[in-house]
Structure 1
Amino acid sequence: MKRYFSEFLRIFDLHASGKWFLLASAIGVVAGLGAIAFQFLSHLVLHYALSSVTGFHPREAAGEHAVFEPEETPFQPWLIVVVMTGGGVVSGLLVYTFAPEAEGHGTDAAIDAFHNKRGQIRGRIGVVKTLASAITLGTGGSGGREGPIAQIGASFGSFLSQKLNLSARDTRILMAAGMGAGVGAIFRAPLAGALFAGEIMYRDADLESDVIVPTAISSIVAYSVFALSMPQEMWFTHLFGQGLTYRPSSLLELIPFGLMAIVLVLFAIVYIKTFYGVHHLFKKIPVPPHIKPAIGAAIAGLLGIGTFFWCGQNPQALAVLATGYGTLQDAITPGVTVSMAVLLIVAVVKILTTSLTISSGGSGGVFGPSMVIGGCIGTATGMFFQQTLFPELVKNPQMYGIVGMAGFFAACAHAPISTIIMVSEMTGDYNLLLPTMWTSTLCFLLCRRWSLYTKQVPTRLESPAHRGDFIVDVLEGILVKDVYRKDRKIRLVPEGTSLDDIVHKLATTHQHYFPVVDADEKVVGIFSADDVRSWLYDDSIWKLANARDVMVTNIVSVTPDDDLNTALRRFTALNIDEIPILDPANDDRLTGMLRRKEVIAAYNRRLMEYKVAAEESRSPVSSN
């Protein structure tokens, strides 16, 4: 397959933009199909494991549709706890048996792979994440869909790149393209999906510009494929809202939106601290990790049922479980009654149930719950302003709910631009761009110290993915085998050699580091002359001790094909002057010793070559 693909690129000269069009389109198709499969599995588990058993039918937003017709089952709220606990058990067994890195919300794992793992994600993660997340969300766990589908798309992008033996840079780009495609498809927001993948990588105001065009292509294709799974009349139905209109009549209207930004930031800080506080708490619980998601799900279920009864058996209060989109739909729809108290209770308890579901090891996203929390807080704040402080300025509290959705996640995720676009695409209303941009920017600036994604790095400058982009890597391309002295005789010490013999050998050699070998001449340890000196205080033990007692078994080594950057990092890690060179092609036998001064000499030679080349490029060219 790889040979035919390379030949296709060569014939049509598609090694530049055409390459990204083909690869991103392929990723978009798979991400779209993955979103369909994930959506179907979630509804399948929801119908047979939750709705048919407990009578609980989580309400969705206006643009969603049920795959299965709900059955007439008596509502039994306490069975919800049982079902959620069972879902936690199955999800935990799946994740921690087959792919432990698939636990949690998924987006952080994709960000970490981009920065620190050369964009490489194991192919099985997509499958495990799909199943585990569908079970978690389908049994009533409080989570979102963006984390799972982002990791599903990212894992395929990484898999495709590795199969084609593409570079690390290309692998990162395709991984991000899969991530954005999944988000763009599942939320039906292709433009936002493209921007999300580039913006979510960094904590500060930075953007991974290399991924924007490939991700835009993959996101459009994924959205188009995912739309095929919906009925014809649903294609142009937006996820939230009913086209609320906003006509600013005075700049003073930005004042209550600015005050709401402060409220959103305070709740965002509580959300982040609670989320990771619960995570640290579950790490200390002395039970197998497979069981922790069940414990978290059980407590979340109890909280959900308690909230339902506390709010007078109001079904809107059950938004603290599952996605909660139905209550959010009510909160931002004019004419639908939701009390301020219920909105605030849902927001606070949703923070707890999401933290318990995801931070305990359950599989699900955090974007969806953030939308619910931010929307409820926003609408409640708008209602408060309308009733007390700004009755003339606040005409429609529901607008504050839509703006609150964007502002809250912009604060939590440090992704203001993609969030603004995503909420606008999801609600179908771009009239709110002005207050949304104002509020989201303020939230982003005020919440810069806290982030829901711990694997974000501040900027491209701090990202290991861009190491070498801003400085010249002088040691690039120089390998260990190019610099060490191959004619140097290294004295090996058999592991049974007595300390007395070792002391006498030290007197007859200038060698400082001594590899210790077994009967097959495989290196089993190493010691230095300084290590021997610590034994010289008592010559009575020279006959008793041997090389095994003196040597260090934790060997820091390099191979002949390692570059000098790798060698230099290992020199500095332990502050040593020589490192053994072991050849993996020859049963890890000693090939030689690399000295720190040899690396420094190679560095100086390469630096001089750069200097000479720079001077020659500046010198005038003589004409004949």
Structure 2
Amino acid sequence: MKTERLKQPIFRIRGRRSLYFYCILTGIVSGLGAFLFSRILAFSEYLLLDRAAGLSLPHPSGEFLIESQDVLHWGIPFSDEYRPWLVFLLPVLGGLLTGWIVNRFSPESGGTGSDAMIDSFHNQEGRMNPVVSLVKSVATIFTLSSGGSGGKEGPISQIGAGFGSLLATFLKAGARARRTLLLAGTAGGLGAIFHAPLGGALTSVEMIYREDIESDSLIPCIISSVSAYLVYSSLNGFNTVYKVADTEFSRYTDLIFYFGLGILCFLCGDVFIRIFRKVQSFSGSLKISPIIKPALGGLLVGIIGLFLPETIGTGAGVLQVALDGKDPVGTQGIFSSAYQATGLWLVAIFFILAGMKILTTSFTIGTGGSAGMFGPSLFIGGMLGGGVGTLAKILMYPDLSVTSFILVGMGAFYAGVASAPIAGMIMICEMIGSYTLLPPLMVVSILTFVLSHKISLYRAQKETRFQSPAHFWDMNRDFLEEIQVKTWKDRLRTLAVTRDHILLSELEEEALKIQASDYIVLDQENLYVGILSLRKVRHTLESRYVVGNLITVRDVTDTTAPCGKLDDSLASLLKILIDRDLDKIAIQENGQFLGYLRFADLMKIYFENTFPKISK
């Protein structure tokens, strides 16, 4: 009597439609995570920077803002008095606390977060530890609310990416689907927090390559990003991040200054990356506890904050002030402006703010602090655009819109340092709710991108998809499509084959002898049952002692693992192996098991036929 086979799980990715459904679910969780994170961060910033330090930093129009009357019942004892000593001390204390949290619970949670996601996509089959997302969120809240310079998009995108990866693991999805859900989660976080559903999707598929996009994941990322945007906006309001009134592009002669802005963004982007890498290297070479390193970075941030508090924190509110046509430097800080800056002095202020933001961001994140790089990139580019626009207004056109230059600078600078020109353009347009500036944004972003082709903020980026392990199966796929399994029937193996009735503990002992990890499982009538991967299922010391004589091979066999036929192409087998994370695939004909082909066998066949002279 045949043993009844296990039923297939209900929750499984079986095609595009089911994948799209899980992208919606990922987007919903990403939107909720973005909302919760932004609320906690807003409260922490209000408590430490506004109330404790007495800083009255501005906020963008679309950002959640805590008002004083909303928290009177909390009994917070601080007054509104400005305390410069706390402005200096808070980044140091925040860096110390961040260093302890990161190194105590999750050392990989430090840094930008985007690099970790990109590395996970390329080199770890989309796997991310969900603990990293949680720890990074907490660490970033302490970093930013204490005055550290950075963006909040890093942890928010990691919350979505971590959930997408976790969901794929729960569904036992293959590497390809897991990578897609990873990017979908990233898109959801970005689309929600920046109120930019299309921009979030494009950023997630573009930032992982320098000269390519992950086009296979674009639709899933759009689905997730839109879902997250709708959830977040329903709770936070359907408004844009920045409110902008004066934007125009009406004179072709303005392009002269826009070209100059593009070159300046490239030069400053190169300086930014060099300084950031130098700080990282210097911090890594220090023979002190990694817990202390972010505090040392916070020391320099605190010093700069005494003079220019506009360069600490996210800086998003300062951009809103500049977009409103006002002096970006407020009335606080040791060298505060007691009057409205005008003329060349205003140009100098814009450039000084950009330079100081480069330093504060480099010393916050480069020493081990936790925050994103997208926000600071927008700030730096916006200040460069403000400086160039103000200069153009002084020299040639009194009616010129400086706001337009600020916005173009924001998109162009990120396009250069992140090698993401399309994402930079669309993201800025959606953040202001207008596509009026798309022509100059396209021109300047592409110019900066072309000039910056040798630099990148993210070390884990690959040049194109064909350099990524995620697309090894794409290599010369036409050649593999033309070869059928029956052509290489003599390569079929039968060594790593077991029976479904033997004990798992016995199979583990046998595996040590032949050094096999995946086994083809047959029943007592030599019919194919499935595949057992000892990389995923094996006894612990405790389980071997307790149930070692109870668990059989069939109990832990993946009965959904497909098998191949003699008429199948090698390309189809390779895709199954990669998608299902298998080492080998069974071949049968008319219900009869013939043998199996390994991943290494397919690679060897490919190599022998593609490079015959070398292989001989």
Q: Aligning the two structures, in what range does the TM-score lie when normalised by the shorter sequence? A: 0.7 to 0.9
Q: 1:586 to 1:606 in 2, by over 3 A?
A: farther
Paired position in structure 2 for 1:272: 273
Distance 1:587 1:197, change over 3 A: closer
In structure 1, what is the equivalent of residue 381 of structure 2? Answer: 374
1:425 counterpart residue number: 430
Residue 164 (structure 2) pairs with residue 157 (structure 1) = yes
Show the counterpart of 2:283. 282
- Describe the shift of the 1:585–1:22 C-alpha distance in structure 2 as closer, same or farther (beyond 3 A): closer
* 2:189 matches 1:198: no
- Give me the whole-angstrom Cα distance separating, in 2, the residues matched to 1:248 and 1:320: 32
Correspondent of 2:472 among 464, 467, 471: 467
Q: Name the SS of the counterpart of 1:151 in structure 2.
A: helix
| CA 126–586 in structure 1, closer or farther in 2 if over 3 Å, else same | closer
Name the amino acid aligned to 1:410.
Answer: A
Q: 1:62 Cα shift? A: 2.1
Query: Could you tell me how far apart the structure 2 residues matched to 1:601 and 1:165 are?
Result: 23
1:213 corresponds, among 210, 219, 233, to 219
Q: CA, structure 1 residues 606+387, in 2 after alignment: closer, same or farther (shift >3 Å)?
A: closer
Structure 2 match to 1:402: 407
Query: Could you tell me which amino acid in structure 2 is paired with residue 447 of structure 1?
Result: S
Identity of aligned residues (%): 35
Which residue matches 1:561? Answer: 517
Q: Given the superposition, is the C-alpha separation of residues 586 and 47 from structure 1 closer, same or farther in structure 2, using an over 3 Å criterion?
A: closer
Alignment of structure 1 residues 113-262 onto 2, 5 Å: 113-204=120-211, 206-230=212-236, 234-236=237-239, 238-249=240-251, 251-262=252-263
Asked if the contact 2:58/2:321 (under 8 Å) is kept, the reply is no
Contact in 2 for aligned 1:40/1:67 (Cα 8 Å): no
Deviations along 1:132-155, one digit per CA (max 9) or x if unpaired, are: 111111111100011111111111
1:332 maps to which residue?
323
Name the counterpart of 1:546.
none
Do the aligned partners of 2:247 and 2:401 also contact (CA within 8 Å) in 1?
no
Q: Deviations over 1:448-496 (max 9, x none)?
A: 1000111100000101111121235799999x9947799xxxxxxxxxx
What letter corresponds to residue 350 of structure 1 in structure 2?
K
Unaligned runs of 5+ in 1: 309-316, 487-519, 524-556, 564-581, 589-597, 612-624
Residue by residue, what CA displacement relative to the aligned partner does 1:328-383 show, whole Å, maximum 9, x if unpaired?
11222236555222211111010000000111111100110111110011110111
* 1:446 equivalenced with 2:447 (yes/no): no
8 A contact 1:386–1:393 mirrored in 2: yes
CA distance, structure 2, for counterparts of residue 377 and residue 111 of structure 1 = 28
Q: State the distance in 1 between where 2:432 and 2:606 align.
A: 57
1:375-432 per-residue CA deviation (whole Å, 9 max, x = no partner) reads 01111011112323xx049722221111000000101101111110110111222111
Q: Give the alignment of 1:346-357 within 5 angstroms.
A: 346-357=353-364
Q: Quick one: structure 1 residues 320 and 562, their matched pair in 2 at CA, closer, same or farther if it must change by over 3 Å?
A: same
2:209 & 2:229 partners in 1: Cα distance? 25
Distance 1:485 1:278, change over 3 A: closer
Q: What's the CA shift string for 1:216-249, capped at 9, x where partnerless?
A: 111111111112332xxx522x222423231424
> What is the root-mean-square deviation in Å for CA atoms of aligned residues?
3.6
Deviation (angstroms), 1:599: 10
Structure 1 position 99 matched with structure 2 position 102: no
AA aligned to 1:332 is: L
CA distance in 1, matches of 2:67, 2:376: 23
How far the C-alpha of 1:214 sits from its partner, in A, is: 1.0
1:15–1:51 distance in 2 versus 1, CA, 3 Å = same
Partner of 2:548 in structure 1? none
**Which of 408, 411, 414 is matched with 2:419 structurally?**
414
Give the Cα–Cα distance (whole angstroms) in 1 for the partners of residues 258 and 159 of structure 2: 36
Residue 385 of structure 1 contacts residue 394 of structure 1 at CA under 8 Å; is this kept in 2? Answer: no
Shift of residue 561 of structure 1?
A: 2.7
How many Å separate the matches in 2 of 1:271 and 1:609?
46
Q: Within 2, Cα distance between the matches of 1:194 and 1:319?
A: 30
TM-score w.r.t. structure 1 length?
Answer: 0.73
Q: Which amino acid aligns with 2:403?
A: Q
SS for the counterpart of 2:447 is: helix
Which residue in the other structure is 2:559 paired with? none
Distance 2:514 2:267 in 1: 50
What SS does the corresponding residue of 1:229 show, helix, strand or coil?
Answer: helix
**Could you say what secondary structure the match of 1:468 adopts?**
helix
Q: Quote the Cα distance in structure 1 between the aligned partners of 2:261 and 2:607.
A: 59
The amino acid across from 2:246 in the alignment is L
Distance 1:484 1:83, change over 3 A: same
Structure 1 residues 471 and 81: CA distance shift in structure 2, 3 A:
same
Is the 1:54–1:77 contact (alpha carbons within 8 Å) kept by the matching residues of 2? Answer: yes
1:19-38 map, 5 Å = 19-38=18-37
Shift, 1:160, TM fit: 0.6
Q: Which runs of 5+ in 2 are unaligned?
A: 1-5, 70-77, 328-339, 498-508, 520-534, 542-596, 611-616
Aligned CA distance change for structure 1 residues 100 and 245 (closer, same or farther; 3 Å): same
**Contact 1:245–1:429 at 8 Å: present in 2 too?**
no
Aligned mates of 1:185, 1:302 — CA distance in 2: 34
Q: Per-residue displacement from partner, 1:150-176 (whole Å, max 9, x unpaired)?
A: 111111100010011000000000000
User: CA 1:294–1:252 in structure 2 vs 1: closer, same or farther (change >3 Å)?
Assistant: same
Deviates more, 1:79-88 or 1:95-104: 79-88
For 1:221 and 1:115, locate their aligned partners in 2 and report how far apart those are by CA, in whole Å. 25
Instruction: Please tell me the residue identity of whatever aligns with 1:561.
Output: S
Aligned partner letter, 1:264:
C
Measure, in 2, the Cα distance between the counterparts of 1:446 and 1:183: 26
Task: Give TM-score, length-normalised by structure 2.
Answer: 0.74
Question: In structure 2, what is the equivalent of residue 41 of structure 1?
Answer: 40
Q: Is the 8 A contact 1:98 1:128 kept in 2?
A: yes
Structure-1 residue corresponding to 2:560: none
Change over 3 Å in CA distance of 1:608–1:445 after alignment to 2: closer
Q: Which has the larger radius of gyration?
A: 1
Per-residue displacement from partner, 1:503-560 (whole Å, max 9, x unpaired)?
xxxxxxxxxxxxxxxxx9999xxxxxxxxxxxxxxxxxxxxxxxxxxxxxxxxx9831
1:531 corresponding residue in structure 2: none
